């Protein structure tokens, strides 16, 4: 996987640059189409056989990269891909922060293959690895993380998406004495942040999209952290789709090995707009400057990359 890292970087950079003209436009469809087309084009240039095993698009919902889509021009690498051409479409078209383009990849058969649906998630950094239990009350998990990190409960920072469905959890966490940091968009970035000690993020928790869950799991595993999740089908159709993909025990928690079963994985994200970890695309002297995060799970190495793309040149 390491040998493909820079190729995946080209994929996310190209998608971020393609989305840049649509920042602040209000046009979600056009922004998604631009990023998706750029991402698909560059993935098809790579020497690999790959399959999108989880993503936001279905086969009949153009222009998204759909689950089951085959990409690449062939070669010896057989790869699973989790992808989001724009994670944060709303902030992109509203000219707000926390929009990225992101991809995670691992050898065939090692990423969770699941429908685009809701998922409950809990992520922590390396110090709390092995100490979490998604089925346990949130209070018990906070106490376990505090013990593992050597912090007082009042020092624990929990990141939760600002949605009505999370308000009861927010109230319980604050009643316990821990701190809640709310965010509007950017699920993947905030799961990733739990593994970056300088950011002082102890836990990521909440209900969001399953594709973002797998992307976040790769980022977390690649940095030595831990994550658990549970799929939350809302109707019989979603249950049926899970069963068709081999997911029959929907009551059980998915541990990190079930979300991504290998350290031989890569995670690449390029900022579209500024966020907690990386800057968005910046115009500079006739170029678009991109800022990206690369993580290689075998090395547990985080890299930050800055690249220049001429504004008038296709990427």
- The confidence score (pLDDT) of residue 55 equals 80
The 3-class SS string of 202-251 reads CEEEEEEEHHHHHHHHHHHHHCCCEEEEEECCCCHHHHHHHHHCCCCCCC
**H or E segment and range at residue 192:** helix 187-193
Q: DSSP secondary-structure letter at 272?
A: S
Cβ atoms of residues 217 and 53 within 8 Å? no
Q: What is the pLDDT of residue 65?
A: 85
- SS3 state at 291: strand
What is the reported pLDDT for 75?
85
- Distance between CA atoms of 301 and 294, rounded to whole angstroms? 8
Q: Which two tokens stand for residue 16?
A: 């971020």
Q: Which residues of the chain have pLDDT under 50?
A: 59-60, 62
pLDDT at 76: 84
DSSP assignment of 270-288, as one string?
Answer: EESS--SSS---EEETTEE
Strands ordered across the beta sheet of 157-161: 179-183, 157-161, 203-209, 118-124, 226-231
Query: For residue 37, what pLDDT is reported?
Result: 94
Q: Quick one: pLDDT at residue 315?
A: 54
Q: What is the pTM of this model?
A: 0.94
**Could you give the angle at the alpha carbon of 71 between the alpha carbons of 67 and 75, nearest 5°?**
140
Q: Cα–chain-centroid distance for residue 261?
A: 16
Which residue, 206, 170, 168, 202, is CA-closest to 186?
A: 206
What pLDDT was estimated at residue 314?
A: 52
Q: Which DSSP string do the residues of 124-169 spell out, in sequence order?
A: E-GGGTT---TTS-HHHHHHHHHHHHT--GGG-EEEEE--GGGHHH
- In DSSP terms, 82 is beta-bridged to 54, 104
pLDDT of residue 224: 97
Cα 268 from chain centroid?
A: 9
């Amino acid at each position: 996987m390491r040998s493909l890292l820079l190729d995946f970087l080209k994929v996310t950079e190209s998608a971020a640059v393609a989305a840049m003209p649509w920042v602040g436009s209000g046009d979600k469809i056009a922004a998604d189409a631009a990023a998706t087309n750029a991402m698909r084009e560059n993935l098809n240039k790579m020497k690999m056989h790959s399959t999108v095993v989880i993503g936001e698009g279905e086969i009949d919902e153009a222009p998204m990269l759909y689950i089951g889509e085959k990409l690449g021009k062939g070669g010896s690498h057989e790869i699973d891909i989790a992808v989001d051409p724009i994670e944060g479409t709303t902030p992109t078209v509203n000219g707000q922060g926390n929009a990225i383009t992101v991809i995670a990849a691992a050898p065939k058969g090692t990423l969770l293959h699941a429908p685009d649906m809701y998922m409950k998630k809990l992520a922590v950094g390396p110090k709390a690895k092995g100490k979490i239990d998604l089925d346990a009350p949130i209070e018990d998990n906070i106490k376990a993380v505090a013990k593992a990190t050597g912090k007082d409960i009042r020092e624990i920072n929990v990141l939760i998406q600002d949605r009505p469905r999370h308000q009861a959890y927010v109230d319980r966490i604050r009643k316990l004495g821990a701190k809640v940091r709310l965010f509007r968009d950017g699920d993947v970035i905030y799961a990733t942040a739990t593994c970056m000690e300088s950011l002082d993020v102890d836990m990521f928790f909440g209900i969001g999209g399953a594709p973002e869950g797998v992307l976040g799991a790769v980022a977390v595993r690649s940095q030595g952290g831990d994550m658990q999740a549970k799929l939350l089908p809302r109707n019989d159709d979603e249950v049926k789709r899970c069963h068709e993909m081999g997911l029959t025990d929907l009551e059980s928690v998915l541990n990190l090995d079930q979300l991504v079963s290998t350290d031989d994985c890569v995670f690449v994200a390029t900022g579209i707009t500024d966020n907690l970890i990386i800057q968005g695309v910046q115009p500079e002297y006739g170029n678009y400057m991109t800022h990206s995060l690369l993580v290689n799970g075998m090395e547990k190495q985080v890299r930050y990359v800055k690249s220049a793309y001429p504004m008038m040149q296709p990427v």
